[in-house]
Structures are given as structure tokens and as C-alpha cells.
């Protein structure tokens, strides 16, 4: 009994420390993707671009090519980590070794890859921007509009993550369920919900696309970052009509619950719970 208790405390500590590291990495990623890019353009200036340099000269510049190659390797590292550890054979092998810490290890290595990406990223300063808003009054108003929309998108992303069972995504619930001998948390979800999550583990595609592309100035390295992550998000999801039907049914059911009187809502909620079971 004492050994099991110590094991549970150790697993909980590892999971909570990992959650803190993931939270810090997420905050750094918001700063890296949104606020750093908008802050340098809030006055209409674009220090990351050299519009006087022709594209032919910029693309043949050794420093530009080196920066793009480093950034491409960092993106390849992140994509490889994120895909390899989610591959079923690797996931099953890690599950047999790590047990309930499998999801925790996945999130930890993802945060490590993000930290490497952000800290080693090389801005391309010797090439022109693909677009740049410099003429007043839009040189002031458009960065403020981008800041507002970025803030709203990140707020929506955080809200969606909370709705999609944030503790389970971070691996906290796996440890908690293991300590209580309840098994895998996903096994307690309906089969159609598990099928949806297997196809759609990152429900933030539209918001992240807005954050990646909506900027006062789009530099060459930002084009590489936005294009690679957007393509990866689009390729990583495989939603089909069954998933769409399940989501539409869930939304219509929630709307009916909100529209029914209190008594009817309670009765229908019980009926829905029975159907889910």
C-alpha cells in the first residue's frame, strides 16, 4: 500500500510539473507567434524586411538561405516529434514502457520541440516582405486590429481546449485514473466521441490559421512558419461524415436542452445520458 501511494504521488508530481512546463511553453508560443510579430509593426515599421533588396538578390544571399535552412530543420524536428510519437506502433510501445505517463511524455517532448523552435528560430532580415502595411492611417489601425483579432483567437483556443477535456489532453487525467484503477479516460467516453478525437485532436485549425497569417507584415521566415504549420494541421485531420453527423447531433442536443423548460431539460438530459451509455 505504501509503495502504491508513493508511486501515485510521484506520477502526480511528474504530471503537474509537465503541465507547468507546457503552460509556460504555450505562453512563449503566443508571444513568439503573435505579440512579437505585431509589436514590431505597431508603429508601421517593419525592421524584419528589406524592401529595397530585389527578390533575386535576397534568395541568392547566403545568410538568407542559411536562416531558411535552419528554420526548416526546426520545423521538421517539431513535425517529426509530433507525428512519430502519435503513430500507433510507437504509441503502443511507449504505453507499455511509460504506462499512464505516455501522454505526459508526449506533451513534454512537444513543449521541448516548441522551445527549440522558438529559441533557435532565425528571422530573415535580408529579404523583402510579401506584404507590409505602412501607409497611414492603416499603419497604426491595422496592427491594432491584428492585435485584437489575435487576442480573440487565443481566447477561443483556450476555451476550446478546456471544453475538449484539457486535463486529458495534458495527461493529468490518465495519471489520476491510474491511481484510482479506473483505466484509460478515453475508454469512458462514447465510441463516437473516441472516433472523433482520434481524427481531430487539435480543434483549433481556423483560429490558428488566423493567428499565423493575419499580420501587418509577412516576412519570408514567417511565410515558412505559417505555410508549414497550416499544411501540417490540414494533413493531420481526417474528419468524415460520421464525425460531422456526431458533432451536429451533439450541438442540436445541447440547443434543445437550452430551449426546453427546466423540468423538460432535466428529463431530456437523463434520456441523453441513457443513450450515451
Please calculate the CA angle 204-205-208 and round it to the nearest 5 degrees: 80
Average pLDDT of span 102-130:
91
Q: Is the dihedral of CA 250, 252, 255, 260 positive or negative?
A: negative
Q: Give percent of the chain above pLDDT 90.
A: 29
- Give a yes or no: residue 180 inside a domain: yes
Helical (H) or strand (E) element with 132? strand 131-132
- pLDDT top residue among 66 and 238: 66
Structural domain count, the chain: 1
- Give a yes or no: residue 269 inside a domain: no
Please state whether the predicted TM-score (pTM) of the whole model is above 0.85. no
- Give a yes or no: residue 271 inside a domain: no
Judge contact between 219 and 129, C-beta under 8 A: yes
Alpha helices in the chain (DSSP H): 2-30, 36-39, 55-59, 62-84, 88-98, 102-120, 138-163, 166-170, 172-179, 191-199, 205-213, 220-236, 241-259, 262-276
d(CA 250, CA 242): 12
pLDDT at 265: 46
- Give a yes or no: residue 265 inside a domain: no
State the DSSP string of 187-198: GGS-HHHHHHHH
- Give a yes or no: residue 74 inside a domain: yes
- Give a yes or no: residue 212 inside a domain: yes
pLDDT at 238: 67
Residue 169 pLDDT > 90 = no
- Give a yes or no: residue 273 inside a domain: no
Judge contact between 196 and 186, C-beta under 8 A: no
CA 133 to chain centre: 28
Containing structural domain, residue 205 = 1-257
* Residue 55 half-sphere exposure toward CB, CA atoms < 13 A: 4
The tens digit of pLDDT for each residue in 179-214 reads 888 888 877 777 777 777 766 656 677 888 899 999
The tens digit of pLDDT for each residue in 65-102 reads 999 999 999 999 999 998 899 888 998 899 898 888 99
The answer for residues whose C-beta is within 8 angstroms of residue 210's C-beta and 6 or more apart is: 149, 150, 153
- Give a yes or no: residue 94 inside a domain: yes
Amino acid at each position: 500500500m505504501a509503495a502504491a501511494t508513493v508511486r501515485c504521488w510521484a506520477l502526480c508530481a511528474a504530471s503537474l510539473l509537465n503541465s507547468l512546463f507546457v503552460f509556460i511553453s504555450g505562453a512563449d508560443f503566443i508571444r513568439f507567434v503573435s505579440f512579437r510579430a505585431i509589436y514590431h509593426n505597431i508603429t508601421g515599421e517593419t525592421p524584419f524586411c528589406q524592401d529595397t533588396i530585389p527578390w533575386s538578390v535576397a534568395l541568392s544571399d547566403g545568410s538568407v538561405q542559411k536562416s531558411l535552412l535552419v528554420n526548416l530543420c526546426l520545423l521538421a524536428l517539431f513535425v517529426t516529434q509530433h507525428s512519430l510519437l502519435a503513430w500507433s506502433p510507437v504509441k503502443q510501445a511507449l504505453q507499455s514502457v511509460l504506462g499512464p505517463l505516455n501522454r505526459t511524455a508526449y506533451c513534454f517532448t512537444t513543449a521541448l520541440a516548441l522551445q527549440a523552435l522558438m529559441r533557435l528560430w532565425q528571422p530573415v532580415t535580408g529579404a523583402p516582405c510579401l506584404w507590409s502595411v505602412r501607409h497611414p492611417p492603416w499603419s497604426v489601425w491595422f496592427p491594432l486590429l491584428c492585435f485584437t483579432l489575435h487576442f480573440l483567437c487565443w481566447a477561443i483556443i483556450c476555451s476550446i481546449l478546456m471544453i475538449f477535456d484539457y486535463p486529458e489532453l495534458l495527461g493529468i487525467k490518465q495519471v489520476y485514473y491510474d491511481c484510482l484503477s479506473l483505466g484509460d479516460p478515453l475508454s469512458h467516453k462514447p465510441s463516437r466521441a473516441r472516433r472523433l478525437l482520434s481524427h481531430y485532436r487539435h480543434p483549433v485549425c481556423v483560429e490558428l490559421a488566423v493567428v499565423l497569417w493575419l499580420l501587418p507584415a509577412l516576412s519570408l521566415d514567417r511565410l515558412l512558419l505559417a505555410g508549414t504549420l497550416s499544411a501540417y494541421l490540414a494533413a493531420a485531420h481526417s474528419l468524415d461524415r460520421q464525425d460531422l453527423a456526431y458533432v451536429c447531433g451533439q450541438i442540436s442536443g445541447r440547443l434543445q436542452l437550452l430551449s426546453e423548460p427546466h423540468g423538460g431539460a432535466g428529463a431530456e438530459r437523463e434520456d441523453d445520458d441513457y443513450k450515451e451509455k
